[in-house]
Amino acid sequence: MSVGKNVLMFLLDPYERDARVEKEAGTLTRAGFRVTLLAWNRFGTSLEREVRDGTVIERVSIRSVSGSKWRFLLKLPALYWWFLRKGLRAEYDVLLVHELYLWPVGWLLRLIRRKKTIFDAHEPYAEQIVGILPAIAPFQRWLRRLEAFLARRPDLLITVTPRMVTRYREMGVRRIFYLPNLPACRTLAVPPGLRPGSDMLVIGRIGSITPRYSGVEPLIELAKTLRARGVPIRLVIGGPIMSGWEAEFRKRIAGCGDYIQYLGVVPVTQVLSLVAQFHIMLSLRDGDTPKAEYGYSTKIFDAMAVGVPVISTPVGEDPYLVRDTECGEIVSCPVEVEALADRVITLWRDETRRRRYGENGLRAIRSQYTWDVYEPGFVAEFRSHPSLGADAGAAASGQRGSDE
């Protein structure tokens, strides 16, 4: 027996630069589902209603206050009420809720409407909350218990990395589907002319910019060090800057406009063509954050997809990815900028090694690390009968091998 074709999705963001959510919505739309996505127009810059690539998007305009992170909590009652009212009125067969912060509404709707309800867990939320609000660090154990309680309520939990799968299994979650954040093409060719020449070293990173965690600070210092050594360098950075940190970021790159280029927010469809212009992609995440133990840097997958070698710090699950695929090199954390500059120069001058790393990355993407590999199992979960409380069974068995 199969469920119907209507999928309702909840997202506590505007749905303007959510690559994972876009891929999920696109996959379901192409599979014949009618997808409606409810989102939060938190900055007041998005349309109230639109249709994008077949997905119907509706947004609530409740402006978010910049600055105090605590004030975000004051917005939740109004947001919860809007999502609850919409969910009670909507015609849907499966509800997919992104992120823990909206999951209480999803859980309540599951109890009321008895529809199959799926929770997509992007982050280790107890650790993430402590990272955002350090003052509540003494309560992390209790936050983790609360997260575990909530994570056991959906019919299916989706999550993003092998360690996250293990984490939720240890919390007692029975039904887990492993869906990593991967590029959405099995074979990605680099357009002619995009490969960088050898007269100037081009390095960079395209992704959200947050202090410490994203590793942008040592990347900027690296560019300055290389410039001081006389290396012809261009550093390309793109992505949204975390609220409250833009002034500090611009201060760090001030006076460097001739060799440090900030592109602003980059549309998802343009990311790979920009990364393809790099000689080396650097992911220099800081390991001294509460959630640093978990997660892949999706920027590594972007580089692999276009055959660009990677230099990464040994943070989260990145070192296992880089070493297993042999797509690049690992450097120390915290970053020693002078030593890193030596590694970058050496790799830049060794075209044979760069080409080998790039080919290894491409091979791994095409065989394993691509969204296409996981699409059939993902779609199958929306077509399966919503047997509440059933064991994970065979539906996810083909997608869980890497977390054992």
pLDDT at 146: 96
- pLDDT tops 60 at residue 398: no
Q: Band of the pLDDT at 257, cuts 50, 70, 90? A: confident
Q: What sign results for the dihedral spanned by CA atoms 222, 223, 225, 229?
A: positive
Q: Where are the alpha helices (DSSP H) in 177-317?
A: 216-228, 246-253, 271-275, 298-305
Two tokens, residue 206: 């395209």
pLDDT at 64: 75
Of 59-73, 141-155, 280-294, give the lowest mean pLDDT range. 59-73
What SS3 state is found at 379? helix
Q: Which amino acid is at 355?
A: R
- List pLDDT tens digits, range 233-248: 999 999 988 878 899 9
- Which parts of 82-127 are beta strand (E)? 94-98, 116-121
Question: Is the model more confident about 208 or about 35?
Answer: 35
pLDDT at 320: 93
| Cα–Cα distance, 2 to 66 (Å, whole number) | 45
Of 127-136, 194-203, 392-401, give the lowest mean pLDDT range. 392-401
If we measure between CA atoms, which residue out of 272, 270, 277, 310 comes closest to residue 193?
Answer: 277
Burial class (CB within 10 angstroms; exposed 0-12, middle 13-18, buried 19+) of 84: middle
| Cα–Cα distance, 392 to 84 (Å, whole number) | 28
The mean pLDDT of 304-325, rounded to a whole number, is 94
Question: Is the model more confident about 389 or about 55?
Answer: 55
- pLDDT tops 60 at residue 193: no
The mean pLDDT of 295-324, rounded to a whole number, is 92
Maximum distance among all Cα pairs of the chain, rounded to whole angstroms: 67
Percent of the chain, pLDDT > 70?
A: 88
Which whole-number Å values give the CA distances from 343 to 252, 259, 339, in the listed order? Answer: 23, 20, 6
pLDDT at 148: 97
Q: Band of the pLDDT at 264, cuts 50, 70, 90? A: very high
pLDDT at 89: 97
What SS3 state is found at 51? strand
- Put the strands of the sheet holding 55-60 in their side by side order: 49-52, 55-60, 34-40, 6-11, 94-98, 116-121, 156-159, 176-178
The mean pLDDT of 377-399, rounded to a whole number, is 58
Residue matched to tokens 């280029």 = 261
Question: Is the model more confident about 284 or about 16?
Answer: 284
- As a whole number, the mean pLDDT across the chain is 87
- List pLDDT tens digits, range 2-45: 456 999 999 999 998 788 999 999 999 999 999 999 999 988 88
If we measure between CA atoms, which residue out of 180, 149, 150 comes closest to residue 164?
Answer: 180
Percent of the chain, pLDDT > 90?
A: 68
If we measure between CA atoms, which residue out of 285, 294, 341 comes closest to residue 313?
Answer: 285
Domains of the chain: 6-182+371-397 (3.40.50.2000), 201-367 (3.40.50.2000)
If we measure between CA atoms, which residue out of 150, 137, 143 comes closest to residue 102?
Answer: 150
For 34, phi then psi, to 5°, come to -95, 115
Of 41-45, 194-198, 262-266, give the lowest mean pLDDT range. 194-198
pLDDT at 394: 34
Q: Which residues pair with 50 in a beta bridge?
A: 57
pLDDT at 314: 93
The mean pLDDT of 376-401, rounded to a whole number, is 57
Total-model pTM: 0.81
| Cα–Cα distance, 109 to 188 (Å, whole number) | 40
Q: Band of the pLDDT at 268, cuts 50, 70, 90? A: confident
